[in-house]
Amino acid sequence: MASTITASTLRVNIEEHIILNGKQQGGTNTLNIGSINEVFKRIATCPANNETTLIHFHSSVADGTLAPVDIDDVKYIRVTNLDNSNSLTLSLQSDVGEDDSVADESASILIEAGRSFIMGTPNDGIGISDADANLVTDLVDLESLVVQPGSNTVDVEIFVASA
* Residue range 17-53, pLDDT digits in tens: 999 999 999 999 999 999 999 999 999 999 999 999 9
60 contacts: CB under 8 Å, gap ≥ 6: 70, 100
**From CA 13, how far away is CA 150, in angstroms rounded?**
31
DSSP assigned state of 44? E
Domain ranges for the chain:
34-162
Q: In a structure prediction context, what are the per-residue pLDDT tens digits for the chain, which is 163 residues long?
A: 678 999 999 999 999 999 999 999 999 999 999 999 999 999 999 999 999 999 999 887 655 554 679 999 999 999 999 999 999 999 999 998 888 888 999 999 999 999 999 999 999 999 988 777 788 899 999 999 999 999 999 999 999 999 9
pTM: 0.92
Q: Which residue type sits at 29?
A: N
Q: Please measure the distance between the N-terminal and C-terminal CA atoms of the chain and give it in whole angstroms.
A: 19
34-162 fold: Jelly Rolls (2.60.120)
**From CA 15, how far away is CA 25, in angstroms rounded?**
11
**From CA 119, how far away is CA 94, in angstroms rounded?**
14
Q: Distance between alpha carbon 145 and the CA centroid of its chain, in Å?
A: 7
**From CA 108, how far away is CA 64, in angstroms rounded?**
31
Please report the pLDDT score of residue 92 as a whole number.
98
**From CA 148, how far away is CA 79, in angstroms rounded?**
13
Mean pLDDT (the chain) is: 93
What is the sign of the dihedral through the CA atoms of 118, 98, 64 and 148?
Answer: negative
